Amino acid sequence: MKIQIKYHTDEIKKIEKIKNGDWIDLRAAQKVELHAGDFAIISLGVSMKLPKNYEAHIVPRSSTFKKWGIIQTNGVGIIDNSYSGDNDIWGMPVYATRDTIINVGDRICQFRVEKKMKDNISFKEVEQLGGADRGGFGSTGTD
């Protein structure tokens, strides 16, 4: 699969797929100083044209909160293949839980490309589903 990519800055390292792992790191393309309680959309400095019927899922790296005290406000960022214009720059919306500085080139999030859900999904309302109850939200059904 080839993905067309446009860089909006030459200050960040080029994106590359790593050998171990399915997620690809993205870097901050701007220096951002945040204070506790601030919201910002941090530019990732790239635009991409994803293949038809694919979308990108953006999530924080496992070390992002520990290093910078930021939380991605939408939990998971979804970028579909229609967001592919020259100026459709990828960004990460964040909320700062403490004062922090994010520098250009810091690896703050990661993404993977996923096939979209098929268009032919429909729903059928029923009175009972027939499966065994597992005990409610957050339960594996075991003690």
Active site residues: 80
DSSP code per residue over 12-46: SPPP---SS-S-EEEE-SS-EEE-TT-EEEEE--E
Which residue carries 């994803």 as its tokens?
A: 50
Amino acid, single-letter form, for residue 24: I
Which residues lie across from 32 on neighbouring strands?
A: 102
First to last CA, the chain: 44
- Count other Cβ atoms within 10 Å, centred on residue 85: 10
Q: Give the whole-angstrom CA distance, residue 75 versus residue 32.
A: 20
